[in-house]
Amino acid sequence: MEQPLLVSSSPAPPSPASDDSPGFLIRLLLLVAVAAFSLWANYEASKSFQVTVLNNNAAAASVSSSPPTRRFDLLFVANGRAARLVHRAADSVQRALYPDASFPRKPVERVTLSMEPVVAADHGDCVREETVAVRRGRREGEFAVELRPRVMAAADVAEAVGGAVRRGVARVWLWDGQGRAPKRVLAALEDYLATSSADALRGASLASQSRNHSAATVLPQEDFVCVARLNRAMKDGWDDRMLTEACASIAA
């Protein structure tokens, strides 16, 4: 008798990826959750201060009720745009200056933004106050950022006001060497933080007013690291060697 043909079928090999899929998805979800939490924490940290925007247009009979202030109130104050500019600038500046817990944060409790009266703005202050001035408030941790009326005459008003706010906010969060850091160094740091311009930071090396010419060095490409380290060093004072030392380990 003929034997029936037996068809042997080998079992299909299990999919190697099927067992690992749940674990991979869990790891992916954890990474996404950590990244989302980090972004949220940074955002909340930037909002851990109060923002007050003064509406100068309310005082119609005062000298502050000028065309620039009325336009500023209409375009930036009434719709909450000015406050959002301050919060976004603060978020960006704090990310750059305080990348981790080893960089002590400057205590800021309140930032008051306003448009300076035209008469008060015409007093020929230093170059850095052409578009914005920053003053300390009555209490510790309070700062006033005062925009100059000339920003409202710019061809691109939104960019001019945004740039002035970013510079003012950068100045608020920068340590100033307990008042001893050269103004031109602080101005160059403001430019870097406000515009992310490497050339602005390199200008700080030439503006350090160092008595030691070797301190005036060209900064490397990792400018953001130098800025954070220099700002941390300026918390306790100022020394002409700080600029070089802040970037020494990176340039090596």
| 3-class SS string, 155-210 | CCHHHHHHHHHHHHHHHHHCCCCCCCCCHHHHHHHHHHHHHCCHHHHHHHHHCCCC
Q: Are residues 203 and 215 in the same domain?
A: yes
Q: Are residues 59 and 163 in the same domain?
A: yes
Q: Are residues 159 and 248 in the same domain?
A: no
pLDDT in tens, 102-152: 999 999 999 999 998 765 544 444 444 479 999 999 999 999 999 999 999
Q: Are residues 134 and 188 in the same domain?
A: no
**If pLDDT is split at 50, 70 and 90, which confidence band does 189 have?**
very high
The Cβ of residue 43 has, within 10 Å, a number of other Cβ atoms equal to 13
Strand partners, 115: 147
CA distance linking residue 235 with residue 175, whole number of Å: 5
- What's residue 231's pLDDT? 95
- From first CA to last CA, the distance across the chain in angstroms is 89
Q: Are residues 168 and 212 in the same domain?
A: no
- Domain of residue 247 covers 177-252
Q: Which of 150, 173, 196 lies at the terminal end of a domain, its last residue?
A: 173
Q: Are residues 162 and 231 in the same domain?
A: no
Q: Which of 173, 194, 212 lies at the terminal end of a domain, its last residue?
A: 173
Q: Which of 173, 196, 212 lies at the terminal end of a domain, its last residue?
A: 173
Considering 70-74, 201-205, 216-220, the range whose residues carry the highest mean pLDDT is: 70-74
Q: Are residues 147 and 52 in the same domain?
A: yes
Count: domains in the chain: 2
Q: Are residues 151 and 188 in the same domain?
A: no
Q: Are residues 235 and 187 in the same domain?
A: yes
Enter the pTM of the model. Answer: 0.68
Cβ–Cβ < 8 Å for 214, 231: no
pLDDT in tens, 165-183: 999 999 999 999 999 999 9
* pLDDT top residue among 91 and 205: 91
CA distance linking residue 225 with residue 220, whole number of Å: 10
Q: Are residues 163 and 61 in the same domain?
A: yes
Strand partners, 51: 111
Identify whether 227 is part of a domain. Answer: yes
Cβ–Cβ < 8 Å for 228, 128: no
SS (H, E, C) the chain: CCCCCCCCCCCCCCCHHHHHHHHHHHHHHHHHHHHHHHHHHHHHHHCCCEEEECCHHHCCCCCCCCHHHHHHHHHHHCCCHHHHHHHHHHHHHHHHHCCCCCCCCCCCCEEEEEECCHHHHCCCCCHHHCCEEEEECCCCCEEEEEECHHHHHCCCHHHHHHHHHHHHHHHHHCCCCCCCCCHHHHHHHHHHHHHCCHHHHHHHHHCCCCCCHHHCCCCCCCHHHHHHHHHHHCCCCCCCCHHHHHHHHHHC
